[in-house]
Structure formats: C-alpha cells, structure tokens
A and B are shown apart, each in its own frame.
Chain A
Amino acid sequence: MTRRLGWGCLAAVVVLLALQPLVAPYDPRGVDLAHALERPSKAHPLGTDGLGRDVMARVAAGAWSSILVGLVAIAVSSLVGVGVGILAGAGGARVDGALSVLVDVLLAFPRFVLLLNVAAVVTFRSAAVVGMVIGAMSWMRTARLVRTEVLTLRERTYVEAARAAGARGARVLAKHLGPHVSRLVVETAALRFSSVVVAASTLDFLGMGLPSESPTWGRLILDGQSYLETAPWVTLSAVLALGLTAVGLTLASERRPGDSRRILRRIPSENAP
C-alpha cells in the first residue's frame, strides 16, 4: 500500500507536467503586472504570483530544474561514492583508514550547513552546477555502503575461486563485484534523488541557490511566503509539488521484507536462495 501511495504522488506530479503546456502555456518568467496575485482561475489554473507570472508554468519549470539538479547530483555522488568505496574496500588498510576518517568527519556534520558554506563562496549560475556541488557533498553514505559490500564480498569463496582461476583484480572487480555494487547504487537512487532535490530547494528557499529570477520550487516558496496571508496559492502550489515529489520517491522506494531477495535472484551468485 505504501508503495502504491508513493507512485500515486509521483503520478500527480507527472500529470501536472503533462497538463501545463495545455492549460497554462505561459512563459515562467513572463511578468504581467496587470494580473498580479490573481486567484486560481480558468486562465491561470494555479493563479499568478506577485509579478503576475503564472504559478503553474513556474511550478512546471521548477520541476524541470529539479530533475536536472537531481540527475546531475546523483550521477556525481554515485561516481565519487563508488570510487571512494572501492578504494577504501580494496585499497589496503592504510587507505581504508584515511578514507573512513574522512567519511566519518563529513557525516558528523549537517550536510546542509556545509552546502551553505560553499554557497558563500560560489555563485550558482546554472542548475547543473548546483547539482554538481550537491553531488560532491552527498557521496559519503554510498561510499560507506560500497566499502562494506566490497569488504564482505572479497572474502567470499566465489571470488577466491575466480582468483584461483587466474582472474586479475580489475576483472574480479568488474565481473564479480560490479553487479553487487551497481545494485546498491540503483536501489538507493530514488531516495538519493529525493534528498538532493530537497537540498537544492532548501538552498533556493534561503535565497542562496540559483539567481532570483530562475523559477525553482525553493524560490517560488520563498517569494510566495510574503503573500501567505493574501495569496497562499503561490507558496502552497510549490510546497505541494515539492512535497509530492519527495514523499512519492520515498514511499515508492519503500521495500517489503522479501524484496531484496527477489532483486538478488536476478544476479547469479551464492547470495541467491
């Protein structure tokens, strides 16, 4: 039930994205002061904001921007996380020790505060850069997972057998450990996507992300907060879009106890029942 609820939330966001060009084909940056702060109507299904910009068009543009940030960020964090994890798991005790201390120190601090520090000295001009910076700060948990996986797998008999048969380190990594590691990365992707989108939106909400004219969910919520009493639809539309996305991704990736086994069965190894 939990997962169906999650898919429902995500479907609502997709429907909004699909309908927007049909019912609200406006420029998300198009200022129209004559129609500022209008209630939701037929012409503007989600109303207009303080500068007369169509809220639905801005929410949809925010979705595209979030998708870009999310994709870039999980790509970067997966690459760094897998790299560091493999290095720590297979690189010997000294490398492992140093990398583990780094990961522990970074995880002991609110990631968001670290992100704010970077925002103080970096001017974000595109969503891709935001994604890269957030990705560069979100690899620690992946690295930890991959490290543990590599450490346990390399002691397995099938890896020993491959070694005995003459397989080199790189081949063992790619052929025998690779499927397990990529499973970890894929399984956690939806949750990581949700967390990086939330981080980017929070950054925009604090006015420290993309430039003020860019339509992002965080910026929409920030702009709308001052009209919360008179025109709540501005903020609440974006809150709803961001909320449905984050909640949907989380609920949809909730696993039932038997699930991991079903996924494992697709990977031939001694793990499969």
Chain B
Amino acid sequence: MVSHVLRRALRAVVTAAGIAILAFLVLHARSEEALSVLAENRGVRGEEARAALRTSYGLDRPVPLRLSSWIGDVARGGMGDSWSHPGSSVARVLFDHLPLTLALTGSGLLLQIVLGLGVAAVSIQTRGTWKDALANALALAANALPEFCVGLLLLWPFAVRLGWFPLSGVSEAPWEAGGGTLTTLLDGLHHLALPAVCLGLASFAAVARLLRVRWEDELGAKYVVGAEARGMSRARIVWGHSLRNAAGPLCTSIGLSLPGLVGGAVVVEQVFNWPGLGRVLVDAIAARDLNLIAGANLLLALLVTLGGMISDLLFAALDPRVRAR
C-alpha cells in the first residue's frame, strides 16, 4: 500500500511538472510578444531601452537556459521574483491567495456532490417519467452553460434584485474590522455562497449522470431482491446498501472532474471578484508577468494532479476490490 501511494504521488508530481514545463516553453517561445506589452505598460520606447528591459528580466538568454534557471528557482522554493509585485517572491504571492481558492473549490466540490446525489435520487425515484427526463435535462443544461453565465444568472436575481448576497469579493480583511471569529466566518461564508453554488451548479451533471446509471444497476442486483424478501425497508435498501456500492466509482469521476473544476474556479473568481489564484493568474497574464504565470501554472497543476491522486486512494480505501489490484 505504501509503495502504491508513493508511486501514485510520483506520477502526480511528474505530470504536474510536465504541464508546467510545457506551458513555460509556450510562454518563453514567444516572450518577445510579452516584452512588447511590458514595454508599452512601462512607457519604454526605443530599441535600447527595450533591450535593457529584456536583459533585466533575463529574456535575452536562450530558452533552455531560462528553463533550467526557473527549475532552480522552483527547487529553492521561491519560484523566482514576481515582476508585477515588486519585492515579493512568486511563492509568497501564490500562497497568500491559495487559501481562498481552496475554500472556493472545496465548497464547490462539496456542492457538486450534494447536487449530484440529489438529482440522481430524484431520477431514481421517478425512473422513466417526465420528472426523470427533466432532472436529466436540467443537469445537462447547467453543465453546458459557461461558468460566467451561471454566475451572472445567479448574481442578477439574488444579489442585484433581492440583495440577499453581496455583489462581489470578500470584505476587505474582515478580521481587522473587529468582531469575533464567528462574525468573520459568517461574513466569509456569506460572500462564498454564490461563487460556490455557481461552481457546484456548473459541474454536478457528471456526478448525477454516473451515479444514476450505477445506482440503477445496483438496484437491479440480486442482493436487493434478497433484502426485500427479508422485509428490509425500501429506504434502507436504496440509501444504505445500494448507494454505498454505487458511490465507489464516483471517486474516480470526481478526480477526473478536477481540471474542469479548477478551470471553472479561475473564471468564477473573475465574475465574483474573489481574490484567489485564478485572479492572480488572470492579473499576471494581463501584466505579462511570465514568472508569476509559470508559478501559478505549476501550483494549479499540482492541485489538480494531487487531488486526482487523493480521489483514487479514497476509492481504494472504500472498495476492497480495487485495493487488491
């Protein structure tokens, strides 16, 4: 088991490194394009000043050399200096914003599972009727809508018309404004609610559909007939026995949905002005801060691949048949 975990972890890290290097090469193969924007933003004119700017960011060196020095920076833990946050290392900027992204994706994931379970349960209970078809169509529609459309369709009624939720972001450092831990927490949740619901709505369809199919299969199994013959209640069969058997493969499906979830979070953070990693990435791209972009890529890739690893291990822990392999 230990060697299985280690091997899986190694694969996750290698995959993340592969993605980060690939993205690094894309960025640096066309760094002149980025340099033009940098020069324009800083009001730098003339070829000489441009060359000085190029040297100061190390963009005059050949790409393989830049890559090797970046890998050195990553190994030292700082990931180099951020160009757009003077005096701050890339790692510092990223880790400042990481908790907010974890909170958003974590609660989005939770809602994805809850919504998926709910819709699958409705489908199972109303199999073959129009309610089943409607539940399926709603799941598909929510999945097909881009995250920012879902976000705006939530913002307009609930934040603008009804005013139940704030229009954007987190309050400026609520812990400094006074009030206890509880107030801070409630305030945070109040701001988190709409973005998390948005992320959950945009991604629950896969869970709902997979669970519905698996659950239906399980309900047709012989042990269900046996349990019914012994007089077990329908609810206990559906929710206790068959759900547990059906839920195992869900872990894999959730692991596979992580890239979409993290990509969705990047967009949701823009819509709701939620200052997480996604905003850092988008701002870094707007400022052409290649160092910060590369760092954000690496961290997001690690988030996705290690998350996938955890979901696989969870599956193995839940299902002894998988562990045996």
Interface of A toward B, CB cutoff 8 Å: 1-2, 5, 104-114, 116-123, 194, 198, 201-202, 205-208, 221, 225, 228-229, 232, 235-236, 239, 242-243, 246-247, 249-251, 254
**Chain B contact residues: helix, strand, loop or mixed:** helix
B259 within 8 A of A: yes
With the chains together, A247 CA to B146 CA distance in Å? 10
- Interface size of B by CB at 8 A reads 54
Instruction: Give 28 A-B contacts (CB < 8 Å), ordered by A residue.
Output: A105-B15, A106-B22, A108-B19, A108-B301, A109-B19, A110-B266, A111-B259, A111-B263, A116-B281, A117-B297, A118-B26, A120-B290, A121-B26, A121-B30, A121-B31, A122-B33, A123-B33, A202-B148, A205-B146, A205-B148, A205-B270, A206-B282, A228-B160, A243-B153, A246-B145, A247-B145, A250-B144, A251-B137
A160 CB, nearest partner CB in chain B, Å: 32
* A23 smallest CB distance to B (angstroms): 24
Residues of A within 8 A of B153 (CB): 239, 243
B149 part of interface (Cβ distance < 8 Å): yes
Partner of A120, one of B146, B263, B293: B293
Chain A nearest Cβ from B306, distance in angstroms: 11
| A36 to B: closest C-beta gap in Å | 20
* Complex Cα gap A206–B273 (Å): 12
The interface residues of chain A lying within 8 Å CB-to-CB of B148 are 202, 205, 221
List residues of chain B with CB within 8 A of the CB of A239: 149, 152-153
Bound together, the chains give a CA A239 to CA B146 distance in angstroms of 9
- Judged by a CB distance under 8 angstroms, whether B147 is at the interface is yes
A117-B293, A202-B147, A239-B149 known; A110+B137 contact, CB < 8 A: no
Bound Cα distance A247, B142 (Å): 8
- Assess whether B152 is in contact with A236, with CB atoms less than 8 Å apart: yes
Residues in B whose Cβ lies below 8 Å from that of A207: 286
- Asked if B143 and A250 make an inter-chain contact with CB atoms under 8 angstroms apart, the answer reads yes
Instruction: Name the residue among A110, A111, A122, A198 with the largest chain B CB count within 10 angstroms.
Output: A110
